Amino acid sequence: MDKKILMVIGVVSAIFAVVLLSGCVEDKSEITFDNALNNETYNIYIDGEKKGTVNYCSETIEINKGKHKIEIKASGSGNVFESLDVDVSERTYILKEIISNKHFFSYDAEVKLDMEFPYEAMIFFKDTKTLTGIMRFREYNTCFYNKGIELSDKNLCERINDKYYKESCLVEIGIKENDSGICEKAKYDDNKDICFASIGEQTNNASLCEKVIDNYTREYCFEIVAWNSGNAALCEKLTDNYTADYCFRYVAEFKKDIGLCGKIIDEEYRYSCYKDVAIARGDISLCKELLKEESMDYCAEIIATAKNDTTLCNEVINEENKKRCIVVCVTNIAIQNGNFFLCDNLTDTDSKTKCRDFVIKNLAEEKEDYSLCNNISSDGIRDDCYYKYASVKDEDDINLCENIKDFDTKHGCFYSIIYGENFSMNSCKNIGDKDIKYWCCENVEKDDISCCGELTNEEQKDLCIQRIAIAKNDTSVCENIINDDEHKWCVKEIAYNLEDTTICDKISDAKFRKECVLYVI
């Protein structure tokens, strides 16, 4: 559909629904007006007489067969938001928008309704400067369902004409309010199950899980309650071995109960449980329960480094793992004390250097003294030092990122500042990196072509100015573009945006000027 036809004047949100009556009613039908999309209140007038007020989802109004004038008025001001001609026939409604302002559209829409599935014919009217009028259909029970749950209003649920859908609405309210009494009243098994299971999980009430009919839903309910409450007895109710093993492992770690690990059937899973509980308890002696050397080492190393106790590293069997354990412990202790001389306790030169570097980085962060980053030997640690310091400073320190050697880390540093709370629009000009400056000018300082002027690359400068000109629909900005092709393209795009062929006259090239006119129309 032509976009000009879709333009409408007025801020209106009116939704119209047709509900067919049974064959016993011959002279009247019902029309439902729905205002579910906003909180404004409208009065509905039929042939000049007030018939109802729109609220929540709908207001059902009787209307005689034949042609009628329907007006939608604001309840406060009395302003007419919309005036419609409606032709009520036995099986259909003909809806036609009548809009008398300068931008308008009108069409006939035949709405045929199935008695079993009542649908609403909806027309949305929005701000005509930027938005459009759209007509579509939807099942009106959805409105009562969503509003009923949102407001915990059971009366709205009761207005749903589908029994299952109505019960689902009531069940959702019961779940919100932890009211299991609603579950008891549910007649559909899946509604009953989701109700009992959800409330059981929310309240850690396993007795509600017992009432669930579906095996999978019931056992999942037991599992969640077991996790939340630490009730391992519920894990025994699970029939799937893998699920039961996971349940025991989770509860064992939660309660730090090594005995529960013995209930796990899968051997690998069982020893992972021993490791997790040993780490959770910080008891290195439990690591010896593990059969595999790598598991024992990992267990002992985690506990030793968590306690920063190098003597516990002696429990690690593999020599490389033991060395790593000692390095981590010594480094952590040196960082905690802010003393890089403690790193001298390490024998390996590389480990000693990295230990010292980590201490300096931590001191730089604590003292907010980025000059300390210069004393770091390792490139990666030094880059991270500058990155972390720059990202918490204001725009005046944006070029701290220039000190970073790694390309990705450097650009990440710039972006973190540009998107930070303290970044000002003038700061793009202060960026030394030309690619980052171009990106910043183009994406951040969207209305300032002086930022584009800071760019040394002529192509980047032209594209930067072009983007701002098109965004502002200002051909005078295009005049700052040096490249002739980019200048012509700039004018052409603005002419298209404004739907104004006369703008193409600003293009001196006759051939391209003609292309511009054809492009616009």
pLDDT 10s per residue in the chain (521 long)?
333 222 222 222 232 332 222 222 233 333 333 333 344 556 777 788 887 665 445 444 556 667 777 777 766 666 776 676 766 553 333 232 222 222 222 223 332 322 233 333 333 333 333 223 332 333 457 767 888 898 898 988 888 878 998 999 999 999 999 999 999 999 999 999 999 999 999 999 999 999 999 999 999 999 999 999 999 999 999 999 999 999 999 999 999 998 999 999 998 888 888 888 888 888 888 887 776 777 888 888 888 888 888 898 988 888 998 999 999 999 999 999 999 999 999 989 999 999 999 999 999 988 888 889 999 999 999 999 888 877 665 544 666 787 888 888 887 887 777 766 556 555 676 677 777 777 777 666 556 677 787 777 888 888 888 888 888 889 999 999 999 999 999 999 999 988 888 999 999 888 898 889 888 87
What range defines the domain where residue 29 resides? 13-139
Residue 230 within any structural domain of the chain:
no
457-464: long-range pairs with CB below 8 Å, 24+: 458/482, 458/483, 459/483, 460/434, 462/486, 464/438
Residue 82 within any structural domain of the chain:
yes
Residue 158 within any structural domain of the chain:
no
Residue 21 within any structural domain of the chain:
yes
Cβ burial of 394 (10 Å; 0-12, 13-18, 19+) is: middle
Residue 271: the pLDDT is 83
Residue 518: the pLDDT is 87
Residue 75: the pLDDT is 67
Residue 252 within any structural domain of the chain:
no
Residue 79 within any structural domain of the chain:
yes
CA distance 215 to 239: 9
Instruction: Evaluate if pTM is beyond 0.85.
Output: no
Residue 120: the pLDDT is 34
Residue 18: the pLDDT is 29
Which letter does DSSP use for residue 338 in this model? Answer: T
Residue 496 within any structural domain of the chain:
no
Number of structural domains (the chain) is 1
HSE (side-chain half, CA atoms, 13 Å) at 136: 7
Residue 429: the pLDDT is 67
Residues 329-347 as b or e (16 or more Cβ within 10 Å = b): bbbbbbbeeeebebbeebe
Residue 104 within any structural domain of the chain:
yes
Residue 132: the pLDDT is 30
